[in-house]
Structure formats: structure tokens, C-alpha cells
Chains A and B, each alone.
Chain A
């Protein structure tokens, strides 16, 4: 595993071309509200058969890094972010636009993202080997504890209802039990549908939950078209370059937010959205003049952008060293590794060190490419917002259907995608976090194997999950995370900031 070797690998013409292609796809999908980076990465899975694991992962990293940046462009301009994490940036980015400083907001947005990505990658290169040493000692109880930590952190840190997040996570875990039991081989919950014995693969499910559900949502509310005009786009300069004064004023913020984001990204389940809001919140808290935030403070744009891009790099730590994905995108990447006969975890660094190096190199180079293409192509990207809903929704659905079929050539996956699209629509309608549902589906097997094998070894003694140092610590953190929303709800009530009872704040 060598960082410079990874850079060298990514600079090979074919890999570089795929990385740039991935970045452009990511910028497109990230900019258009409703088309998330998750959808883009999921739709690229069939290409991994032709490209191979290394090239496919490089391309996907390009998409991942670019969507983390592009999600906030429309947020800063129109207060309608392409994804939720862009909402933190819009708090100050949009007021800047209203003050006639759209170019400033956009240029710092892209620059901070790139800096966050670069710092995050360097931290990843330093931290991953340390994680690897610990990971080699892990047994089933540790993996179960990590799965529980992932589930509790996605439930606790997700904005909204704790009960709904836990319900969504439980439902996701239950979905993962469909098909053959990974321990005993028993058939579970197939309801007479034989093809379901193969289980519910999470990639068709993710395409349903994100791409199909988003189109259903737009159909239901008739909000597909953004109604943006070319005049709206012209507010942004053709080439958005940051000023030296802004860079001087915000460099400390970028470093601080990157460190926070990277740490949050390493927590399974926490993700870039939490990182963005935590990066923003921290900057507000430590600022001498908090009143500037929300009114067009440039540090309010920089902090969430650096944090969410650093989180994207951080999320690679549990994926590469433990084989545990922290969110939907890393889950899809895990799927690509497995489809190509590789298993992320300590053995990946022994059996295929060039892949791990390429991940590091791709993350670093993707940030550089995003910086260059973002600053130069910003107005072209924003023109995408004028594409009619009729065209892109049709394209997305056709691509979703073919992309889903192409992964395993199984018609059952198409039905799974459709059902998950409906479930995703209702989840969004009633504010159940889809991220918790997906994480449950992804971590289901890991959690079950960890729990059942752990209990089998100890002949049913649960103490194994609470006596080993790592499991005790992990379970402790999970428990604290679970109690945090309740604690904050009670504190808010005591401070009389709201008249709502605690029960009201938990649903």
C-alpha cells in the first residue's frame, strides 16, 4: 500500500480518463436536485464487469467526490440543494447570492470541497494502516458491535425522529434476512417466490430507494421541474475563481472542518450530511461573532463543504480496513469489490494492495479534478438545471431498469427495485430516514453472522459483547449515541426553548 503508487496508477491514461468521466457524471448528478450521487454510483455498477474492480472504483470515487461538491451548487444559488448535505452550505451561500456575490459563494464552495477532500485523503493514508492493525484482531463480536454502532449512529445523528430512524433500521435489517440464512442455509421470508431465495441484493434496492422513489415523489407533488431559467444561471461568472483574501480568511476553517468531517466519516452510519452540519455548527460555535452566520458569512460556506468532502474520504476507512460500509455509496463500492472477487478488509491490503493504493490515489486526484473542472465548468453545470423533468426522469427510469437488470441478469431484481421505489416513496413521505433503512439492509448479514457466531462460540453467553475491550467501547459509544437525542430533547424542554413535550420531539 503506497500512496504515491496509487497516484501513479490513477495517472495512467485510461484511469485518468475514467476519473475525469466519473467527476463529470458526479457533477451532473450532484447538481440536479433529485439525482443523487448514490444513484449515479449505483447505475455504474454494471460497468465494473468490463472495467474491473480497480478502474470501476476509481470512476466511482470520481463520482462520489464530485457529488459531495456539486450538491451544494444549486443550494447556494437557489436555496434548493441537490442533496441534503448541501443544505448546510445554503445557509450562508444563498444569502451571499442575494447580496450579489454568487460567484464568491460558488468559488469558495468548490475550493473548500477540494481542500476538504485533499486533507481527508491525507488523513486516510495516515489512519488506515493504524486501523488495519486493530482490524486483524477482530472476531464476530467486534463486527456485531460495529454493525450496532453503525445502526445507532445513523438513527441518532440523522435529523428527524429517533423512533422512526430505529424502525427504518430494524426494517432494513429484516429485509436483509430474506433468502438463505448465511449461517445455517435455512430459507426465510420468501413467501413462495423462489427467486427470492437469492436474497435482496442491496444495489437494486438502493436504486429503488433513491432513483425510483425520487421520481415517484416528483410525480406525486408535480415538482420535477425546477423552473430555473438561463437568466438565473447568468448570475454566476463564467469562471468562478476564489479571491486570495477569502482564502486567507478561511484557511483555518477549512482545516478545522476537514478534521471534524474526516472523523465523522469514519463512523459507520454517520455520513457526509452529519459531517456538513457538524462542521457548520462547530464554526458557528467557535466564532466570535455568531450573528454573521446565516447572513452570508463565507466561513459558513467553507466549513460544511470541507467537512463533507473530508467525510467522503473518512468513510473509506471502515470500508477498506474492516469491510464495513458506512453508507449507501460505500455499500455499493463494497458490492463492486465482491462482484470482482475481492473482499475489503485486512486481507485486501495483503492480496490486492494495488487496489487500496488506487483508492487513496483516486480520492486525492478526484479532489484536484473537481477543483479544476468545477471552477471552469460551473456555469455549464448549472445549465443542467434547465433540463426538463420529462427528459431526465425518463432517462433515469430507463437507465435504472437496465442498470438493475445488468448487474445479475435476474428479473427478480427489477421487482425488488420497484418495490423499494414504492417503499422509498412512503419512507420519504412519512419522514423515515432511507439512509437508516439502507444501512440496515447492508449491515444485516454482518450483524447476524457476528451475533450468531459470537453466541455459538460462547454457548449463548451475551457477555462476550460487553467484556472484550473493543466491543465494550463500541457498545458504550452506541449506547451514548442512542441516548443523545433523548438527552437533547429533555434539555431543550428544560431550557424552555420550545413548548413541545419530549414525546413530540422524538417522533
Chain B
């Protein structure tokens, strides 16, 4: 077994995420506050978001959501208070967080909570990955399944680091062929055909 393993970008997989500027404890406060505000907003505007006859039955349709939102507000408040208390406590002077092997992490997870380290990674990669998937879903209903899948597969492969041209061009075709066979022949699923010209294009395939 190799002692040190590296990710596709050359990072040490056994090392933890690097410390961020905005500490983990502060991030927790923000998360708690956002949740609290979200639950509060929905609770206050509950009547607008539940449209139905009231008074027809013993319990109105907003009874259960109201109950859940009340519970959510209380829990988010507890979470916020605990997060603030924790943020105010001084940190043990620990430099960085070596990521534990999953086995240790699962058993002794609370140790990681002691460290005020932001879980920072690569938000640009995340955002681009999200946008690609967003574009695939958005495009599928407009240009149809075949072109959108080819474009997404090739684009995503290139985005995640594939540089061999025959893989970027060949793999999407193979994948598309497999998916078309399974979903249109075996499962007879009416896949999206797109609009206008793309409808005609799609009929060549399924």
C-alpha cells in the first residue's frame, strides 16, 4: 500500500481541508441564523403559503406545518445559542486538522468539533459543477436528450480533468448509446425531445 495517496489535483488525500479565513465556528453561527430566519419567515407567512379551506375540519391544513415550524424555530434557536457559546470559548492551540481515516472519524467525530477550521475547498469547482448540471437539466427540455447528454458528458469530463481527446469524444457517445438502449428500448421511457428542430433530430434516435 502506498503510504501517501494523492487526489486528481495532486493534493494529499490524507490531509484535511486547509484552514479558511472565515472560521468553522462562525460559519456554524451563520448556518444557524439562516435556518432560524427561514423557519421564522415561513411561520409568520404560513397563512399565505397554505391555501385551503379553514374551519372545514377539526384541524386546519396548516396545523402540522405550523407545529413543525415551531419545532424548527426552537431547535434552530438552540443550535444558534450553542454555536455562539462554542464560538466564544477559546480554541485549543491546534495548527491544522489532519483528516482522519473515515473509520476513526466516525468513532471519534467529536474531536474534530474542537477545531475552529473552516471546511474550505474549491467553491469555483463546485459552482461550475452545479452550473453544468443545471445547464444539462435546463437544456434537456429545450434541445432534447441526445444533444444535451453529449454536450454535458463531454463538458463534464473535460471539467473534471480528463484531457485525452478520444475519451472526451468517445466516452459520451458510448454512454449515450448505452442510455438510449436501456431507457428507450428496454424501459420504453419517453425521453425529452426538445423543441423545434430538435424534435425532428430526436426522432432519428427514439
- Once A170-B71, A402-B183 are accepted as A-B contacts, the answer to whether A455 and B59 lie under 8 Å apart by CB is yes
Interface membership of A251, Cβ < 8 A: no
Using a CB-CB cutoff of 8 Å, which residues 119-138 of chain B contact chain A?
A: 119, 121-123, 125-126, 129-130, 133-134, 136-137
- A289 sits at the interface (CB 8 A): no
> In the complex, what residues of A have CB within 8 A of residue B13's CB?
223, 226-227
Is B165 in contact with chain A by the CB < 8 A criterion?
Answer: no
Query: Which of A177, A228, A459 has most B Cβ within 10 Å?
Result: A177
Instruction: Give which listed residue, A163, A431, A460, contacts B78 with CB less than 8 A.
Output: A163
**Among listed A18-26, A72-80, A103-111, A120-128, interface-contacting one:** A72-80
Min CB distance, A472 to chain B, in Å?
Answer: 21
Q: Which of A87, A232, A235, A425 contacts B107 (CB 8 A)?
A: A87
Q: Given that A187-B52, A505-B110, A507-B28 are known contacts, is A394 also in contact with B68, CB under 8 Å in the complex?
A: no
Contacts of B71 in A (CB 8 A): 166, 170
**A189 adjacent to B79 (CB under 8 Å):** no
Instruction: Judge whether A469 is part of the interface by a CB distance below 8 angstroms.
Output: no
Docked pose: A166 CA to B105 CA in angstroms: 21
Mask of A198-224 contacts with B, CB within 8 angstroms, 1/0: 000000000000001001100111111
**A220-B125 contact, Cβ under 8 Å, with A170-B71, A186-B61:** yes
Cα of A130 to Cα of B92 in the assembled complex, Å:
54
Return chain A residues, CB-CB under 8 Å to B59.
Answer: 183, 452, 455-456, 460
Q: Tell me whether A398 and B152 are in contact (CB under 8 A).
A: yes
Majority secondary structure of chain A interface residues (helix, strand, loop or mixed): helix
Q: Which of B35, B106, B109, B162 lies at the interface centre, i.e. has the most chain A CB atoms within 10 A of its CB? A: B106
| With A174-B72, A222-B7: A415-B137 Cβ-Cβ less than 8 Å | yes
The interface bits of chain B over 1-15 (1 if a CB of A lies within 8 angstroms of the residue's CB, else 0) are 110011111010100
> Is A49 interfacial (CB-CB < 8 Å)?
yes
Task: Tell me the minimal C-beta distance from A14 to chain B in angstroms.
Answer: 14
A477-507 vs B, CB cutoff 8 Å, 1 = contact: the mask equals 0000000000000000000000011011111
Contact A219 B126 (CB under 8 A): yes
Quick check: A391 and B171 within 8 Å, CB to CB? yes
Asked whether B157 lies within 8 Å of A460 as measured between CB atoms, the reply is no
Min CB distance A351 to B, Å, is 26
Given contacts A221-B122, A402-B183, A507-B79, contact A393 B137 (CB under 8 A): no
Please give me the residue from chain B that is nearest to A189 by CB atom.
Answer: B49
Q: With an 8 A cutoff between CB atoms, is B166 at the interface?
A: no
Contacts of B175 in A (CB 8 A): 394-395, 398
Residues of chain B touching chain A, judged by Cβ–Cβ distance below 8 Å, are: 1-2, 5-9, 11, 13, 17, 27-28, 31, 35, 42, 49-53, 56-65, 68-69, 71-72, 75-76, 78-79, 82-83, 85-86, 89, 101-103, 105-107, 109-110, 113-114, 119, 121-123, 125-126, 129-130, 133-134, 136-137, 140-141, 145, 149, 152-153, 156-157, 160-162, 167, 171-172, 175, 179, 183, 186-192
Q: A164-B79, A406-B187, A448-B64 are in contact. List 18 more A-B contacts (CB 8 A).
A: A50-B187, A87-B103, A88-B107, A159-B107, A160-B109, A163-B79, A184-B56, A186-B62, A189-B50, A215-B129, A222-B121, A227-B13, A228-B5, A389-B160, A405-B191, A406-B189, A426-B31, A430-B27
Nearest 4 CB-CB pairings of A with B: A186-B52, A186-B61, A90-B103, A220-B121
